A and B are shown apart, each in its own frame.
Chain A
Amino acid sequence: DQQVKQNSPSLSVQEGRISILNCDYTNSMFDYFLWYKKYPAEGPTFLISISSIKDKNEDGRFTVFLNKSAKHLSLHIVPSQPGDSAVYFCASGGTSYGKLTFGQGTILTVHP
């Protein structure tokens, strides 16, 4: 039962352009959402989060959009940089204390 899905295993983008990573969820009890970035052999690094009472949160080059009716969130990175190349995970929380449910990840490659 995959409650959080990232349907695109990979995404390739040119440097300077926008990267859009997508995530769908099924559990309406989730009330907050996070994006993490992960490099090989390292742990996930927190990027940005959003509460279910908001539909947008922005932090520098990163913006997360939440569409509750569609149970969909997306991460926009603009402009994309080669250093952004990594695996991106969306995660959802709120069904029980502390537990995060992760998607499978999307490999982002930003070409110079």
Chain B
Amino acid sequence: NAGVMQNPRHLVRRRGQEARLRCSPMKGHSHVYWYRQLPEEGLKFMVYLQKENIIDESGMPKERFSAEFPKEGPSILRIQQVVRGDSAAYFCASSPSEGWNQPQHFGDGTRLSIL
């Protein structure tokens, strides 16, 4: 009964490179969410996706960041031309649907470090 799987767990990139973070939701979950946690802060919502659709991207920076959840395969959070300020822990969560009685379940995150 696998939970939400994120990979890689740690990712090191140099400034200007691209970072790709992957998330496989729990079995039976079709809703995926991405959050970012900066040091000493809480998690900040980035984007909410269902299969092949972006439902809410109000937390995504307008430039360099994109997300997808294709019909087949994991959800991908892509950061182009990374900068030092992108260093953070990125968490993916999934749920079978929306609402208080369908809590989001989180993966263990990808720690992104920018050199």
- Which residues on A are within 8 Å of B, measured CB to CB? 4, 6, 31-34, 36, 41-46, 49-51, 89, 91, 93-94, 96-105
Size category of the B interface is 20 to 34
CB-based closest 7 A-B pairs:
A32-B100, A43-B106, A102-B42, A98-B48, A46-B103, A102-B43, A43-B108
A-B contact pairs, 9 of them (CB 8 A): A41-B108, A43-B91, A44-B43, A97-B55, A97-B98, A98-B95, A100-B43, A102-B42, A104-B42
Q: Report the nearest B residue to A6, measured CB to CB.
A: B42
Further pairs besides A97-B55, A99-B33: 18, Cβ < 8 Å = A32-B99, A33-B100, A42-B109, A44-B43, A46-B104, A46-B106, A49-B103, A50-B100, A93-B100, A97-B98, A98-B55, A98-B98, A99-B56, A100-B43, A100-B104, A102-B35, A102-B43, A102-B44
Q: How far is the CA of A97 from the CA of B65 in the complex (A)?
A: 21
Out of B31, B59, B101, B109, which one reaches A49, CB within 8 Å? B101
The reply to whether B59 and A99 form a contact with Cβ atoms under 8 Å apart is yes
Instruction: Please state if A98 and B33 are interface contacts (CB–CB under 8 Å).
Output: yes
Q: Please state if B42 and A103 are interface contacts (CB–CB under 8 Å).
A: yes
Cα separation A49 to B101 with both chains bound (whole Å): 7
